[in-house]
Amino acid sequence: QVQLVQSGAEVKKPGASVKVSCKASGYTFTSYGISWVRQAPGQGLEWMGWISAYNGNTNYAQKLQGRVTMTTDTSTSTAYMELRSLRSDDTAVYYCARDHRDYEDYWGQGTLVTVSS
Amino acid sequence: EIVLTQSPATLSLSPGERATLSCRASQSVSSYLAWYQQKPGQAPRLLIYDASNRATGIPARFSGSGSGTDFTLTISSLEPEDFAVYYCQQRSNWRTFGQGTKLEIK
């Protein structure tokens, strides 16, 4: 069965960086992309970007360009999302999801990132 | 950026009733629209993609319709497990989500 397992919760200070991992299993990793979506406390969903696990091509939301980097390690079927220059409004649950035809069909359990001084 | 506006913000219904949720796009997204369900403390779940196609394992009581700028998610007869927040998402131009409709028990 398809599973995406994310790394644990993080607490960071403003200005720091965070890197969240997402380990995939149950399917051929390089046949799909990985999307990242975040959700601030009590708020809606925000699409952050996408990476092709086949060739590493990326597409980032304009709002985050310059601060976010998405990568994959095909040897371990793991995707990573790094967000830099963290601010308090980056506090959110970060989800990875398998990208199927530009929709997110399987999701990780989420990683809470808290930015606080 | 394409803005998706969902209505109503909250919908109060009873089990067994029919639910109709709306999503309006600020410009045409053709049929490139999906619906997701999210329960508290859980990740979203894909229900409908390309406006009217049910995702794997989704019960037949969920259906989607529409094209262009106006879309509808219909739940034909509400089950207790259907009370949740529902989001629409477009993939026509980048990807954006609507703000959500909370479906609550009346």
Beta carbons of A108 and B43 less than 8 angstroms apart:
yes
Q: What pLDDT score was predicted for residue A102?
A: 87
Residues 27-86 of B with CB under 8 A from A: 32, 34, 36, 38, 43-46, 49-50, 55-56
Q: Does B101 touch chain A (CB under 8 A)?
A: no
Q: What is the 3-state secondary structure (H, E, C) of chain A?
A: CCEEEECCCEEECCCCCEEEEEEEECCCHHHCEEEEEEECCCCCEEEEEEEECCCCCEEECHHHCCCEEEEEECCCCEEEEEECCCCHHHCEEEEEEEEECCEEEEECCCEEEEECC
The whole-angstrom separation of Cα B61 and Cα B76 is 5
* A59-110 confidence digits (pLDDT tens): 999 999 999 999 999 999 999 999 999 999 999 999 999 998 889 999 999 9
Checking if the pLDDT of A25 tops 90, the result is yes
Interface of A with B (CB under 8 A): 35, 37, 44-47, 50, 59, 61-62, 95, 97, 101-105, 107-110
Coil, strand or helix at B99? coil
| Chain B residue whose CA is closest to A44 | B99
| Chain B residue whose CA is closest to A61 | B94
* B38-97 confidence digits (pLDDT tens): 999 999 999 999 999 999 999 999 999 999 999 999 999 999 999 999 999 999 988 999
Q: What pLDDT score was predicted for residue A101?
A: 83
Beta carbons within 10 angstroms of residue B20's beta carbon: 11
Pairing assessment for the beta strands A18-25 and A78-83 based on DSSP bridges: antiparallel
- Provide the sign of the torsion angle of the four alpha carbons A97, B33, B27, B91, taken in this order: positive
Checking if the pLDDT of B36 tops 90, the result is yes
Q: Do A47 and B94 touch (CB under 8 A)?
A: yes
Q: Provide the residue type at A74 as one letter.
A: T
Checking if the pLDDT of A35 tops 90, the result is yes
Q: What pLDDT score was predicted for residue A65?
A: 92
